[in-house]
Amino acid sequence: MPEYGYFLSCEEFGPAELIEQARMAEQAGFRALWISDHYHPWNDAQGQSPFVWSVLGALSEAVSLPVETAVTCPTVRTHPAVIAQAAATTAVMTEGRFRLGVGSGEALNEHILGHVWPPASVRLEMLEESIQIMRRLFTGEEVSHHGTHYTVENARLYTVPDEPVPIDISGFGPAATALAARVGDGYITMMPEASMVEQFRKGGGGAKLVSGGTKVCYGTDRDEAVRTVHRLWGNQFLPGELAQVLPSPRHFEQAQTLVTEDMVRDKAVCGDDVDEHVAALSAFADAGFDRIYVNQIGPDQRGFFDFYRTKVLPQLTQD
- A 10 A CB-CB count for 87 gives 30
Bond prior to 71 in cis (omega within 30° of 0): yes
Q: Burial-class residue 141 by CB neighbours within 10 Å (0-12, 13-18, 19+).
A: exposed
The CA distances from residue 252 to 19, 205, 245, in Å, are 27, 34, 10
Told to judge if 149 belongs to the known catalytic residues of this protein, a careful annotator would answer no
> What distance in Å separates the CA atoms of residue 204 and residue 50, rounded to the nearest whole number?
35
Catalytic residue (choose from 12, 106, 128, 129): 106
Q: Does 38 qualify as catalytic in the annotation?
A: yes
Phi, psi of 211 (to 5 degrees): -125, 145
Residues 131, 135, 137, 139, Cα dihedral to 10°: 180
In the set 11, 38, 230, 277, the catalytic residue is: 38
The three-state secondary structure class of 153 is: strand
* Catalytic positions: 38, 106
